[in-house]
Structure 1
Amino acid sequence: MERATRRQLVGLALVGSFFVVVSLVISPREVFARFQHLAADPVAFGGVLALVYLLRPLVAWPVTPISVVVGYVYGIEVGLPIALVGIVVTAIPPFLLARHFPDSGLFGKARDVGSRFFTATGETRGVIASRLVPIPTDVISYSAGLSGVRLWPFAVGTLVGELPWTVAGVLAGSSMESLATEGVAGIGLPLLLGAVAVATALLVGPLYRQFVAKQ
């Protein structure tokens, strides 16, 4: 194993341990519960929400619970655009950070794989398909940034790919009588299977032409 790869694996293990510890100590549910009294004032709550979206990548919180809160406080008509903009904004910091990862070791290999993937699918299509699959949002953001995806296709792909999950979260939050952010129990298997099916349809043609038909 290369020295650079060993160092990067150790670094990733430390970062992963940090995220696990933080998620055990601080959760989005606890943060929003502390500021729940501001829910009656959407403007004041908006400041808390903006801060949560900006800080979320530092603690690797999932995005869906935040969408649930947005739906609970703002409803569907106002909440959905707020949640979609928030998801794009919160995805950009890890995307930009990954652009500065080294080209050696594990990161170099991951960059090569990602570059081939997005070259085959197209940047926007690849990000959309990746977002439709239930993979942690930051994993996709780091992968896209590491692979050299441009900012505009990344933002558009994130907006479109996260749409079904965001709609489900906002709808669930808007129907709640009291705030709860454990997740979206109403998403269910049909939405999951549907999103995966769409992602597969988006990817199967380009990947077949790139990696199978050329052989």
Structure 2
Amino acid sequence: MNKSRVAALVLVVLAGAAGLWLYLGRPDLGAGLDSGAFEEWVTSAGALGPVVVVGLMALAVVASPLPSAPVAMAAGAAYGHAWGTLWVILGAEAGALVAFALARMLGRDAMRRWFGDKVEQGFLGSQNALTLMVFASRLMPFVSFDLVSYAAGLSVIRFWRFALATLAGIAPASLLLAHLGAQAVTDGLDPVDWALAVGLGAVTGAPLVWAALRGRGPGRGSRDG
């Protein structure tokens, strides 16, 4: 990974986050923020509302000053199920990739200096195992999203595998949270939509499980893919 490009990307994202904070009137990011407050920010931004959603979601992952669930619900309330889910996924994915890049750029070399080849032994050196771990963690809301992103950046997992596992794992929760936000301003939660979220998780996870099982065949090394 080209460190100069990563550094430029990180600077752009951080500058965008600072600009977003100024655009929203320099709000206190730790005081009584809920989905109602976020929805007000999003709707007041007009045509830039989707940019606000993506920026807030990314900021919540990179720096954790914001709770991401109320942002996702506000996106659903403002833009409905489909568009709300899309903006939430884009923001969460962008934030995860930036956090991953930061850890990879700033901490990976230090890990190798301190621990040597130990950081690549066992499952820590398996691309398939790490990919499945990232995917599984994205499905569990009690596992810190940002912590996993930073930890993955310190591991040997390939960038594209991390991006794919994150994208697949965040889709069900993003859909559900956006749906809850949309339903809060319409008719209420339909049990069918809960089943849809679970089904979406199974569909998105199936290719990753298949790839991992396939990679365990004879002749495969620990650093496949």
- Same fold, TM exceeding 0.5? yes
Equivalent position of 2:54 in the other structure: 50
**Runs of 5+ consecutive residues of structure 1 not aligned to the other structure:** 1-22, 179-185, 210-215
Tell me the CA shift for residue 87 of structure 1.
1.2
Structure 2 counterpart of 1:171: 179
Paired with 1:157 and 1:132, the residues of 2 have a C-alpha distance of: 10
Structure 1 segment 155-194 matched on structure 2, within 5 A: 155-177=163-185
Q: Which has the higher contact order (CA 8 A, sep 6+)?
A: 1
Counterpart in the other structure of 1:103: 111
SS of equivalent to 1:173: helix
Query: Could you tell me how far apart the structure 2 residues matched to 1:158 and 1:132 are?
Result: 9
1:186-208 deviations in Å (ceiling 9; x for gaps): 97xx96xx98xx79x959x86xx
Would you say the 8 A contact 2:73–2:182 is kept in 1? yes
CA-atom RMSD in angstroms: 4.0
Where does structure 2 lack aligned partners over 5 or more consecutive residues? 1-27, 187-192, 217-225
- Counterparts of 1:90 and 1:51 in 2: how far apart (Å)? 8
Name the CA distance, whole Å, in 1 between partners of 2:150 and 2:136: 15
Equivalent residue number for residue 83 of structure 1: 88
Q: What's the % identity of the aligned pairs?
A: 26
Alignment of 1:22-61 (within 5 A): 25-26=30-31, 28-29=33-34, 33=37, 36=40, 38-39=42-43, 42-56=46-60, 57-61=62-66
CA contact (8 A) 2:135 2:166 kept: yes
Alpha-carbon deviation of 1:123?
4.6
Aligned partner letter, 1:58: A
SS at match of 1:149: coil
Runs of 4+ in structure 1 deviating by more than 4 angstroms, as ranges, are none
TM-score, length-scaled by structure 1: 0.61
Give the Å deviation of 1:80. 1.6
Partner of 1:147: 155
SS in 2 for 1:103: helix
